[in-house]
Amino acid sequence: MSLKTYALAAAAAALLAPALSHAAIETKSITVNVTADVPNTAGLQVSTPDGWEGLPQNLPWDVARETLSELTGRVINVKSSAAITAYLSAPAQMASAADVVDLVVKLDNVVVPATAAAKIMVADAPKASAGKSLAFAIAPTAPTGGYKQGSYGGQFHMIFESDIADP
């Protein structure tokens, strides 16, 4: 190849390279929102491993018996450096218009009371320190006269407490 041919080929390549490289680049961006909750590892920790907390829990209707059935199979994990107690802030109920169904809430098959004065121990200090999984259940109490047709809903608050000493 002659020097002249080589110089022309190099000049053509130099002119075409930026145009070709600009034509091949395409850019798009996305936004990612990230959050995390890091608990006080020395403090009280309460969680639902499959994320059902705050979501509606549907009590199953038994067609053959014409009654609501107990909801089971849910788990609440607790952990603390001290013993853990639990209670409800008020009686658990669900309603449809004026019709009310009382609910019995259980942790490890023990009824959770609706007053702080009657709170139950759900994990003593050694079990709380190691972390404990509690079986959670909601059992409906059939109203006098039976269940009335309707779409029932309700909300109750379960309170967990642990007396953690300040360092």
**DSSP percent split of the chain into helix, strand, coil, nearest 5:** 20, 35, 50
According to the model, what pLDDT value does residue 147 have? 94
Mean pLDDT of the chain: 86
6: phi then psi, degrees, rounded to nearest 5: -60, -45
Look up residue 84 and give its amino acid.
Answer: I
pTM: 0.74
Model confidence pLDDT, tens digit, residues 71-82: 999 999 999 999
**Domains of the chain (ranges, CATH numbers):** 45-162 (2.60.40.2040)
> Do the beta carbons of residue 85 and residue 159 sit within 8 Å?
no
Q: Are strands 84-88 and 71-79 parallel, antiparallel or unpaired?
A: unpaired
145: phi then psi, degrees, rounded to nearest 5: 90, 0
Residue 30, pLDDT above cutoff 90? no
